[in-house]
Structure 1
Amino acid sequence: MSVAVCLLLYGFAVVVLAPRLLRRLSTEGVAPRIAVTAWLAAMASTVLAWTVTLAIIIIDLVTHQISLFPVRFMDSCLLHLHDAAVGDYGGHMQTGLFALSGFATLALLVLAVRLGSTLLRSRRTTLEHARMARLAGRHHPGLDAVVLEVDHPAAYCVAGKPHTIVVSRGVLAALEHHHLDAVLSHERAHLDGRHHLLLTLTRGLATVLPRVELFTLGASEVARLLEMLADDAAARIHGRATVLQALLTLSTLPTPPATAEAALLPRVRRLSAPENPPRLHTRIAVTAITLTAVFIPVAAIVTAGIGIQVCAV
């Protein structure tokens, strides 16, 4: 039971502390790949910690066992909780605890179902969008993209079967050839990196948990950092100046496409600045946060597993 308490406290600590700390470390996109990993680790470890917490509490209430690894200052509380679970404080208290556990389990199941339905709906929408784009446009073999015959500027990728990169006639008219190649490389980097899967997952969590800043802010920050990763991939092929000029050209259009709107100022600032490797202390800080977010819940779960095995012997 003490493992459950530790995991619960860990989850709340991450929810409170991680958003501002991670945003401060990833604002300028110094190490976007590590920053994305840190955000994903914080979100995944929080979900894991809360899920395992509920599982441990339910198992303890059902089996009437207490972990062999107690936290001293929590002993009295845990013992009282255990006594209430076995009925020492009367049937009403015991029933209340089981009802509370049941409601918590139901809430978790509802969230899981909502997340699953959100992810499935997003996938269906994406596949349908890709299909409609291929039907409405014409495939340009030289660009390996679907061209929409509209003046409204559009340049984006859609995951599907197959994946599709979409550009509009307005973008083709606005960009020079080498700038267009940079934009297409940016979109291919999204598809090659499977960024759509990360975006779908983080936005799904933000949808089902809209009041938890870790997930809402995390979804927007991951999206911004993934744009920077795609910029870097395009810059390695076409050069930072070319990618920057393409981005600036798209941003000056009357209605800039989403690829230019997403976190425009930080992206322009990154591409305009001299290319310097991330500072050592920044890499160490973000890496330490990532490892901590992963290690603590995993270590707690392993400890709980060892405790269960010892109890069973």
Structure 2
Amino acid sequence: MIVAFFLLLYSFVVAVLIPPLLIRLTHSGIAPGLGVAAWMAALGSVVLSWMAAATLVLVELVRDHGRPGQSALESCLASLHAVVSGRVGLVLQVTLLLLALMAVVAFATLIWKWSDRLRRMRSLTYGHARMTRMVGHHVAGVDAVVLEASQPAAYCVVGRPSAIVVTTAALGALDRRELDAVLAHERAHLAGRHLQVLAMIRGLASSLPWISLFTTAEAEVARLLEMCADDSAARTHGSHAVLSGLIAMSATSPLPSGAMGASGVAVLDRARRLAAPASPRDRMRARTSLAAASVLISIGPMATGLLAMSGVMLCGSMVM
């Protein structure tokens, strides 16, 4: 049980301390792919810690069922309190047990709410993709569904199949190279499954809006994914085409819910980044820092669990 407690403590520390650090490391967008990986490592470590703690609590309760004389919490703290005051150890055990049970219930509720939100978002995006194919049309040489609209817009939405949508106003505002760059940007979103990644994070953020790790990750990962798509389009069509296309589309109306578009997020930051790329030295420094942060965050739950188990085993041998 003490392992579950320390896993919950670790997740709390990560949720409080990691967001400011990751913002400093990723906000410039020098290495957006590694930036997304770092944020996903932080989110995964917290959720994994919750899952492991809930599983350990359930295993402990099943193992100790039917053995009322057996302590449900064999730990250093319980042993020391039992020696010093006798009854304080029992109070501590009951308190930690109640906290652990609350964590199990909270985690189960989170999974249910998150799954429900994902289902609703999927239904919404699938319906939008289906509707655009019904009301839109195709234009020769344009690998997208074209909608009649007075505002320039280009975006992609997940469906069966997924759809890239561009308006007639966008066709009029973009030249051929800019249009190809914008469409390549949207194809990068679909190929990289960026919409699915963002949907999972948005589901967590909407389910737990009071935890800043999730809400901050939602905003930061969205802008980093746009930068990833910018880089993918720039490798094929050049930074200038992506930048000019981004500027031409910068005055668009809001995108549909669940969609991602070339001009939807952090337009000014992305324009500056495309106009003035980072130096090789800055890119190497950012990649090294982000890779190290991702590894340390990823192994955190395992290291925490092993350390807690080692402490319990050491303390148990000392008491014996």
The two structures share one fold, judged by TM-score above 0.5: yes
In the alignment, what sits opposite 2:103? 104
Shift of 1:136: 1.0
Q: Secondary structure at the match of 1:41?
A: helix
Shift of 1:288: 1.3
How far apart in 2 are the matches of 1:79 and 1:105?
27
Asked whether the 8 Å contact 1:146–1:166 carries over to 2, the reply is: yes
Does 2:145 match 1:146? Answer: yes
RMSD: 3.3
Change in CA separation of 1:2 and 1:164 when aligned onto 2, cut-off 3 Å: same
In the alignment, what sits opposite 2:44? 44
Shift of 1:157: 0.4
How far apart in 1 are the matches of 2:92 and 2:292?
43
Shift of 1:276: 2.9
Q: How does 1:228-267 map to 2 (within 5 A)?
A: 228-251=227-250, 253=251, 255=253, 258-267=261-270
TM-score (norm: length of structure 2):
0.83
Shift of 1:140: 3.1
Change in CA separation of 1:141 and 1:192 when aligned onto 2, cut-off 3 Å: farther
Q: Secondary structure at the match of 2:29?
A: coil
Unmatched segments (≥5 aa) in structure 1: 82-87
Q: Deviations over 1:146-175 (max 9, x none)?
A: 000121222100111111100001101111
Shift of 1:248: 0.9
How far apart in 1 are the matches of 2:43 and 2:144?
34
Shift of 1:230: 0.2
In the alignment, what sits opposite 2:28? 28
Does 2:284 match 1:280? Answer: yes
Shift of 1:189: 0.4
Asked whether the 8 Å contact 1:153–1:256 carries over to 2, the reply is: no
Q: How does 1:102-181 map to 2 (within 5 A)?
A: 102-181=101-180
One-letter amino acid matched to 1:146: V
Unmatched segments (≥5 aa) in structure 2: 65-70, 256-260
Change in CA separation of 1:93 and 1:7 when aligned onto 2, cut-off 3 Å: closer
Asked whether the 8 Å contact 2:78–2:89 carries over to 1, the reply is: no
Change in CA separation of 1:231 and 1:207 when aligned onto 2, cut-off 3 Å: same
Shift of 1:235: 0.2
Asked whether the 8 Å contact 2:2–2:308 carries over to 1, the reply is: no
In the alignment, what sits opposite 2:67? none
How far apart in 2 are the matches of 1:177 and 1:78?
74
How far apart in 2 are the matches of 1:299 and 1:98?
22
Q: Deviations over 1:35-93 (max 9, x none)?
A: 100000001101111222233234335524556xx6xxxx2247659xxxxxx789999
In the alignment, what sits opposite 1:76? 77
Shift of 1:142: 1.9
